[in-house]
Structure 1
Amino acid sequence: MIVLLLVALGVSALIQGVSAYRTALNETDQIFDYQMLQMAFSLRGGVGRGTVTVPLAQNQSFDFLVQVWSIDGASVFRSPGEFLLPQRALLGFSEVSQGDKRYRIFSLQTPFEVVQVAQDLAVRHRMAGQLAWRTVLPIAWMWPILALLVWWVVSHALTPVSRVSAQLAQRGADDLAPIPADDLPDELQPLLASFNALLVRVSQAFSAQQRFVADAAHELRSPLAALKLQWQALHRADDADARALAIQRLGQGIDRASRLAEQMLQLARQDSPAAKALAPTRVQLGALCREAVVEASDAAQRRSIDLGVSECDAAEVMGQADALQVLVRNLLDNAIKYTPPGGRVDVSLTRQPDGSYCLAIDDSGPGIAADERARVFDPFYRGEGLSNTAGSGLGLAIVKSIVQAHGGQIQLLSSAQLGGLGVRVTLPSIPPTPS
């Protein structure tokens, strides 16, 4: 920053010098042109008619050169100098070159003579350069002082930044406390506020991950212990019937553990940055719901549950087809699992007046108490009266994560039609493409 500021000061001084030189040159041109014009008019008719010749002076330099010609071309007057003005004068102002010099000439014609006044343009450039240098010279003298001042100001302003950097370097990996912003410059306050907000989000995500790992370890302990007991029971079985029962229970335990591991992976995958970074695609939600109902029909038949689709509008949403399939499948699994044998599960997909789509799944099961409907979305939480039913408490947590990722909403209600639980998932429709 210091180097860039000093370079900026130098460039500014250079630009100011060039501007001052051009301005001074323009002004000197106007002044000298006016002097040449006045000199020519003052010499008009004042040197005689072809009778006087002034000899050249030796070793003498003049800013202005004057030459007077008669009408017939005879030299009437010529000031000392080696430059000879052209006899064929171009009236008014003109410029000519001789050797490495360039002259500006003003020519005036009278009834009896032609007056020419010339000046070397180097005189004007030299005077403009002197004026420009006088403008830049104070800046050149002040440049070291400005450099020290810039260094002091920048170093003083960035001292809080160095302090914050040192604090961050000394922090541990688990220290996510906000950084104090008491003496930081106002320019850095928005950056620090955003950084502290990021620390808060990281802390929340870290805490959620720790809770998930702790809950997962607790939930895995029970099925693994049950598997070990069933394996021991299988080894202690004395007859074929006992061995068959032990094998059956071991298989059921393996199924429960596999289901728990699958749901944990689904939840972790849904919350991962990679899943959130996937580009959404067009998904036919109606076809996806019908396929999920067909897949769940075998489980419903085994429990003598009437599973059907009451209404299914053509619906197209933007999202991830695999995630939406997991959403519908988990809702159907929960409805079938918690509905008593001989019960009923209805599925409908309708378009709402605002253009969104509502997926409704109603069952004739026991439902969920109103004071527990918010908590059942927490991982591994199972409501009262459901502890005897096989499950891990991850189904609704996965569903909520998928709904939020798709910009939708989910509600748990009491089903007016069947008396059990009514789940309402609202997903936004695809906005029309502008023509």
Structure 2
Amino acid sequence: MYRSYRDANHEVQELFDAQLAQSSRSLQAIILYNIEAIDNFSAQEILNYPITTANTDPINEYDLRDTHSYERKMAFQVWDNGKRLVLRSASAPIIALNKNALTPKARGFSDVMLNNEKWRVFSLWDKQFKHLIQVGERYAIRDELTSEIVKHLLLPSITSIPILALMIWFGIGRGLSPLRKVAKEVTRRDTAHLEPIKLSNVPLEILPVIEELNALFHRVHTAIEKERQFTDDAAHELRTPLAALKVQAQVAKAAKNSEEKSSAIDNIIAGVDRATHLVQQMLVLARLGSKDNSSAKINSIHIRATSEELIAQLALRAIEKNITLSFQCDDNYIIDGEKTNYEILLANIVDNAINYTPNDGNIVIKITDSDNNIKLTVTDNGIGIAEKNLERVFERYYRVRDSAADGCGLGLTISRQCAEQLNAVIKFTKPKTEVGLKVSISFPKQSLI
């Protein structure tokens, strides 16, 4: 608002200054052309008439047509040599409008105070510096015009602001009402109510937000279900080994001789080892289940070197059973994925083969190039798995019957999840010898992009 007033005032000042200058030159051209005749003529009487009539005499219709109240706010003077007042308007004083301009050096625009009012004066000398014309007007005229301009400019805006604000408030409120409904619905939710928000009557502008929110609900629901499943599994699977430990502890306590006590303690240690292995496998499975494959860090895995390191760590267990563990790889193949997943996958497959291969058995680990895939095979001559049970090997806690091998039935379940996160395909078949088990894992080759 202040800027509008300032700009309007500036333009008004420029316009009125130009009029003052133009009026001065017009008077100079008209009056000074025959100053002697004007000096002897009763021109001053004519100039005095409108003001005198307006001040003293009753104003008739003729007077109203020949005068205007604003004439009192404007004035001019004609000075001879800056000393004698030759002519003036009725509203002009008998003293100079601008005393400082009575000398040729001081001319042009100036601001003066007359009768406690501010005036704008323009002083113009002729070329011979004999006659001076001063034209002035009150600043009140300019201020009034500026105020009127600003009022007419701003009044519509000011009156429309409440209406505009109301329209904006209504529009925003109506536009945000779907968000408020969604916010209320989300506020009422808890972990037991994670069903998706209905997409009916949802504006297109916030549809992607609601879809992403529903996807988040789904992920949270999946995570909670996995957590609940892990808790249930832990409670179920740990009950038996803990009960066995309690029994063995009671046997050790009631032992009548050192041999019975030592045997019970050995059983307790073995039970603790089995329980520890179970807990470790369950924790690995829970960690894999909580991973988002899309956000996993992708690295280059040199599977030959990685496999050699891992097989060397597992070789001690094979030596204990006098199992021949061989590794064949004709090139240093590279795949994409997280190295930890590959290590867990291979460790579980080889560990499973060692568990179910009898003493003096053979395990062959081979890595080859097969079309667009890198193929890893682990073949043993153990007890194998009946063909009807091959589809069940990935079930949690499934163990081959009539097996003396220790285990908790989670190793192959973990292997499958690792394979999925490596975009690999894992299959179980009978080897050509029809003895034992052959595990084949196909990895996609490393992307060239």
What is the TM-score with the length of structure 1 in the denominator?
A: 0.68
Q: Decide whether aligned partners of structure 1 residues 322 and 424 sit closer, same or farther in structure 2, where only a CA change above 3 A counts.
A: same
Cα separation, 2, equivalents of 1:154 and 1:213: 47
Cα separation, 2, equivalents of 1:371 and 1:363: 18
Conserved? CA contact 1:40–1:117, under 8 Å:
yes
1:282: how far off? Answer: 8.7
Q: Does 1:344 align with 2:363?
A: yes
Aligned length in residues: 405
Q: Does 1:193 align with 2:207?
A: no
Query: Aligned with 1:421: secondary structure?
Result: strand
Report which of the two structures shows the higher radius of gyration computed on alpha carbons: 2
Cα separation, 2, equivalents of 1:272 and 1:132: 68
**What code does the residue aligned with 2:221 have?**
S
Cα separation, 2, equivalents of 1:403 and 1:96: 94
Q: Does 1:45 align with 2:29?
A: yes
Q: Does 1:394 align with 2:410?
A: yes
1:353-391 per-position Cα deviation (integer Å, ceiling 9, x unaligned): 99xx95835223547969956x7556x253766976432
1:62: how far off? Answer: 5.5
Query: Aligned with 2:427: secondary structure?
Result: strand
Residue of 362, 369, 391 corresponding to 2:378: 362
Cα separation, 1, equivalents of 2:291 and 2:71: 84
Cα separation, 2, equivalents of 1:151 and 1:66: 57
Q: Does 1:203 align with 2:221?
A: yes
Q: Decide whether aligned partners of structure 1 residues 43 and 212 sit closer, same or farther in structure 2, where only a CA change above 3 A counts.
A: same
Conserved? CA contact 1:317–1:430, under 8 Å:
no
Residue of 148, 166, 175 corresponding to 2:193: 175
Structure 1 vs Structure 2: percent identity of aligned residues?
26
Cα separation, 1, equivalents of 2:106 and 2:367: 100
Cα separation, 2, equivalents of 1:190 and 1:209: 28
Name the residue aligned to 1:257: 275
Equivalent residue runs for 1:20-59 within 5 Å: 20-21=4-5, 24-25=8-9, 28=12, 31-32=15-16, 35-36=19-20, 38-48=22-32, 52=39
More helix by share: 2
1:220-263 per-position Cα deviation (integer Å, ceiling 9, x unaligned): 22333343444455567677776665554443332211100112
**What code does the residue aligned with 1:392 have?**
C
1:345: how far off? Answer: 2.9
Equivalent residue runs for 1:5-404 within 5 Å: 17-18=1-2, 20-21=4-5, 24-25=8-9, 28=12, 31-32=15-16, 35-36=19-20, 38-48=22-32, 52=39, 64=74, 66=76, 80=92, 83-84=97-98, 86=101, 87-88=103-104, 96-98=110-112, 103=120, 105=122, 117=135, 123-146=141-164, 161-183=179-201, 185-231=203-249, 246-271=264-289, 287-311=305-329, 313=332, 325-341=343-359, 342-346=361-365, 348=367, 360-364=376-380, 366=384, 380-382=396-398, 389-399=405-415
Deviates more, 1:254-263 or 1:148-157: 148-157
1:326-356 per-position Cα deviation (integer Å, ceiling 9, x unaligned): 4443343234334454122315498x999xx
Query: Aligned with 1:46: secondary structure?
Result: helix
Deviates more, 1:114-123 or 1:213-222: 114-123
1:77: how far off? Answer: 5.2
Name the residue aligned to 2:58: none
1:393-417 per-position Cα deviation (integer Å, ceiling 9, x unaligned): 3334445555666xx3222135889
Conserved? CA contact 1:95–1:102, under 8 Å:
no
Which ranges of structure 1 fall in alignment gaps of 5 or more residues?
1-16
Deviates more, 1:250-259 or 1:54-63: 54-63
Q: Decide whether aligned partners of structure 1 residues 22 and 316 sit closer, same or farther in structure 2, where only a CA change above 3 A counts.
A: farther
Q: Decide whether aligned partners of structure 1 residues 33 and 253 sit closer, same or farther in structure 2, where only a CA change above 3 A counts.
A: same
**What code does the residue aligned with 2:153 have?**
T
Which ranges of structure 2 fall in alignment gaps of 5 or more residues?
56-69
Cα separation, 1, equivalents of 2:16 and 2:389: 97
Q: Decide whether aligned partners of structure 1 residues 21 and 286 sit closer, same or farther in structure 2, where only a CA change above 3 A counts.
A: farther
**What code does the residue aligned with 1:267 have?**
L
**What code does the residue aligned with 1:178 have?**
P
Query: Aligned with 2:31: secondary structure?
Result: coil
Residue of 425, 428, 443 corresponding to 1:411: 425
1:420: how far off? Answer: 0.7
Name the residue aligned to 2:63: none
1:47: how far off? Answer: 1.1
Cα separation, 2, equivalents of 1:386 and 1:68: 134
Q: Decide whether aligned partners of structure 1 residues 274 and 44 sit closer, same or farther in structure 2, where only a CA change above 3 A counts.
A: same
What is the TM-score with the length of structure 2 in the denominator?
A: 0.66
**What code does the residue aligned with 1:175 have?**
H
Conserved? CA contact 2:377–2:441, under 8 Å:
yes
**What code does the residue aligned with 1:336 have?**
I
Conserved? CA contact 1:363–1:421, under 8 Å:
yes
Q: Decide whether aligned partners of structure 1 residues 125 and 230 sit closer, same or farther in structure 2, where only a CA change above 3 A counts.
A: same
Residue of 417, 420, 423 corresponding to 2:441: 423
Q: Decide whether aligned partners of structure 1 residues 39 and 188 sit closer, same or farther in structure 2, where only a CA change above 3 A counts.
A: same
CA RMSD of aligned residues (A): 5.2
**What code does the residue aligned with 1:422 have?**
S
**What code does the residue aligned with 1:412 have?**
I
Conserved? CA contact 2:365–2:377, under 8 Å:
yes
Cα separation, 1, equivalents of 2:404 and 2:413: 19
Conserved? CA contact 1:161–1:184, under 8 Å:
no
1:95: how far off? Answer: 5.2
